[in-house]
Amino acid sequence: MISKFTDLGISEDVAKAMEDMGWEEPTPIQIKAVPLGLKGIDMFAQAQTGTGKTGTFGAILLDRVDAKLKTPSAIIVVPTRELANQVSDEISKLAKYTGHVCVPIYGGASIEGQLRELEKGVDIIAGTPGRVKDMIMRGALNLTKVKVVVMDESDRMLDMGFIEDIEYILGSMPKERQTMLFSATMPEDIKRLASDYMNKPKEISVSQDEVVLDLTKQYYISVGRRNKSWALCRILDLDKPKAIIFCQTKKMVDILEERLIDLKYRTEAIHGDMPQSKRERVIKDFKNDETDILIATDVAARGLDIDDISYVINYDMPEDVDTYIHRIGRTGRAGKEGIAVSFITTEEEYLIREFELRTEMRIEKREVPDAEEGSRDTIRRVVDYDQICDVYGMCRFEINLGKNDGVGKVSLADYIIRAARIRDISIGKISIESDSSVVEVHKDFGNRMTMDLPKMKYRGKQVRVKVIQ
Ligand code: AMP
């Protein structure tokens, strides 16, 4: 059999499995990396999720190590349990005709089950650093026969503080081996790891435009913190997406999950504090369309491979471009179009420019979609004083009292201080027209201005206040 896969030197058995998986032709990283890897050359490859990197190292190691030796001859070290499971699943599919046994090993799950798997004999391990080290120290995992080692998502592993575990693992396998390092970014500490533990590695990268992100349209919406839920529900109601929503903290994940469930959206959430069994169930529910919305932190969502996510929503914007790329790489996969929407507060707008420059991609501004005619918002929009205030925190209010009502700057300020219980230093500039005036008041007193003041009368006239947005 001759195929575009066998052209790269991939064996017929593995190529056949790829075709069974519906793959028609190699991805750019596969074209660049597989022929080198099959020659046993060390490499460090810059490749993000979605580029076909698992297929790349999978094809290499399946052809480089023998099957059914019982003692592992290849190991893939990954940052998270989800990724361990996912990599192991994909390698097992690729090994359909070669017969290699690949098992995942990760913390947070019972060690006994994993020990039993190991005892049965495995060829390839996909494991997280802590648990792999633990198994080696217990004498349950023998890496002395390893010929190929892969470090996947290496930047993440270093970010997560796994460097010592990784060095321990690398130290417990033969020096004569092939080492491949995959990373979405190539910071200095990764290069150092490569030079310390690899033998004349070749550097490989796939450029941004070869990445699957092409199929993802990127937008941002300017919305203050207090109106994020409102904007989110508009999107969920109108576009009815299958969406993954990212929050910066576990706490925010919990709060948002509770809020969306209260509003009857089919939602579940994952974050690192949940037991592994629950995380796996939540991911399964989402994959099987039992839920439409998955709320997650970055760590919990590492390596999630779900093909039909139509929306990635950055409920909270990540601070660095790599996380941004990783997040939006969850959509626009497997040839389908995806949409990435980021909620941006005024202070975060600079991030958009920075991310556009760094990724050479356009992130378009979009408004919160209009509500359908006659429909009511599930969550009401509120005035977000943080969004409309100036750099000193001052907001402007229009009051229906002017020269004709006999007010001057001092008397109006006095009146507001008493009637709305506002401290005098929280009142800024005042300008008086004939029938109205504009007053600057600190954002902390916004609600008093709009809620307390209109309950008052000034010389018998009902006071009305409008926020100037
Ligand atoms: P990865 O970059 O490993 O996360 O892979 C992203 C997705 O692309 C996974 O669902 C793979 O199964 C799929 N994939 C990998 N290689 C190919 C290929 N040559 N053709 C089509 N899909 C692929």
Report yes or no on 253 lying in a domain: yes
372 domain-assigned: no
Atom of ligand 1 nearest to the CA of 305: 10
- The three-state DSSP-derived secondary structure of the chain is CCCCCHHHCCCHHHHHHHHHCCCCCCCHHHHHHHHHHHCCCCEEEECCCCCCHHHHHHHHHHHHCCCCCCCCCEEEECCCHHHHHHHHHHHHHHCCCCCCCEEEECCCCCHHHHHHHHHHCCCEEEECHHHHHHHHHCCCCCCCCCCEEEECCHHHHHHCCCHHHHHHHHHCCCCCCEEEEEECCCCHHHHHHHHHHCCCCEEEECCHHHCHHHHEEEEEEECCHHHHHHHHHHHHHHHCCCEEEECCCHHHHHHHHHHHHHCCCCEEEECCCCCHHHHHHHHHHHHCCCCCEEEECHHHHCCCCCCCCCEEEECCCCCCHHHHHHHHCCCCCCCCCEEEEEEECHHHHHHHHHHHHHHCCCCEECCCCCCCCCCCCCCCCCCCHHHHCCCCCEEEEEECCCHHHCCCHHHHHHHHHHHCCCCHHHEEEEEECCCCEEEEEEHHHHHHHHHHHHHCEECCEECCEEEEC
Using pLDDT thresholds of 50, 70 and 90, give the confidence band for residue 274. Answer: confident
pLDDT at 210 over 70: no
At residue 361 the predicted structure's pLDDT band, cuts being 50, 70 and 90, is confident
Per-residue confidence at 212, pLDDT binned at 50, 70, 90? very low
Tell me what the mean pLDDT of segment 16-38 comes to: 91
Q: Is the CB of 329 under 6 A from ligand 1?
A: no
pLDDT band for position 298 (50/70/90)?
Answer: confident
For the stretch 413-455, pLDDT in tens is 999 999 888 888 899 999 999 999 999 999 989 888 988 888 8
pTM above 0.85, yes or no: no
Residue that is last in its domain, among 209, 244, 276? 209
pLDDT for 213-271, tens place per residue?
Answer: 566 789 999 988 888 988 999 999 888 888 999 999 999 999 999 999 998 999 999 98
Q: Domain check: are 70 and 131 in the same one?
A: yes
Q: Rounded mean pLDDT of 70-96? A: 94
Q: Residue 416: what pLDDT?
A: 92
- pLDDT, residue 23, reads 87
Of the segments 189-193, 428-432, 454-458, which one has the largest average pLDDT value? Answer: 428-432
User: 96 C-alpha vs ligand 1 centroid, how far in Å?
Assistant: 16
Given 161, 184, 209, the domain boundary residue is 209
Range of 63's domain? Answer: 2-209
pLDDT score for 69: 83
Would residue 376 count as lying in a domain? Answer: no
430 falls within a domain = yes
86 C-beta closer than 6 A to ligand 1: no
Residues 241 and 137 in one domain: no
Ligand 1 atom closest to the CA of 26, numbered from 1: 19
Residue 208's pLDDT is what? 47
In a domain, 333, yes or no: yes
Contact, 105 vs 125, CB < 8 A?
yes
55 lines ligand 1 (CB under 6 A): yes
Minimal-distance CA residue to ligand 1 atom 16? 52
Mean pLDDT to the nearest integer, 280-289: 90
Substitution site in 5, 20, 23, 304 for ligand 1 pocket (most atoms within 8 Å of beta carbon): 23
Kindly state whether residues 454 and 331 are assigned to the same domain: no
How many domains would you assign to the chain? 3
Q: What pLDDT shows up at residue 333?
A: 59
Mutate to test the pocket of ligand 1, among 80, 90, 305 (most ligand atoms within 8 A of CB): 305
CA–centroid distance, residue 50 to ligand 1 (Å): 6
pLDDT band at 332 (very low <50, low <70, confident <90, very high): low
From 5, 16, 21, mutation site for ligand 1 pocket: most ligand atoms within 8 A of C-beta = 21
- Would you state the pLDDT for residue 102? 96
- Confidence band (pLDDT; 50, 70, 90) for 207? low
Is the domain of 98 the same as that of 181? yes
Residue 321 included in any domain:
yes
**C-beta of 241 in contact with ligand 1 (< 6 A):** no
Closest residue by Cα to atom 22, ligand 1, is 23
> Could you identify the atom of ligand 1 that is nearest to the CA of residue 90?
12
Kindly give the distance from the C-alpha atom of residue 56 to the centroid of ligand 1, in angstroms, as a whole number.
9
Q: Which of 114-128, 148-162, 299-313 has the lowest mean pLDDT?
A: 299-313
Same domain, yes or no, for 226 and 158? no
Judge if the beta carbon of residue 54 lies within 6 A of ligand 1: yes
Task: Supply the CATH number for residue 428's domain.
Answer: 3.30.70.330
Q: What is the pLDDT of residue 335?
A: 57
370 is a domain residue: no
What CATH number is associated with residue 143? 3.40.50.300
Q: Is residue 117 part of a domain?
A: yes
- 225 and 169 within one domain: no
- Does one domain contain both 42 and 138? yes
Distance CA 136, CA 376 (A): 59
193: CA distance to ligand 1 center in Å? Answer: 26
Name the closest-CA residue to atom 18, ligand 1.
23
Report the percent of the chain where pLDDT is more than 90: 53
| CA 364 to ligand 1 center in whole angstroms | 28
Q: Is the predicted pLDDT of residue 398 greater than 80, yes or no?
A: yes
Residue 328 sits in the same domain as residue 401 = no
165 in the same domain as 62: yes
77 and 167 inside one domain: yes
251 and 279 share one domain? yes
Average pLDDT over residues 355-384: 77
Ligand 1 site, residue 50, Cβ cutoff 6 A: yes
Structure confidence by residue, pLDDT tens digits, 95-134? 999 999 999 999 988 889 999 999 999 999 999 999 999 9
Please provide the average confidence, as pLDDT, over all residues in the chain. 88
184 lies in the same domain as 248: no
Which of 209, 230, 262 corresponds to the end of one domain? 209
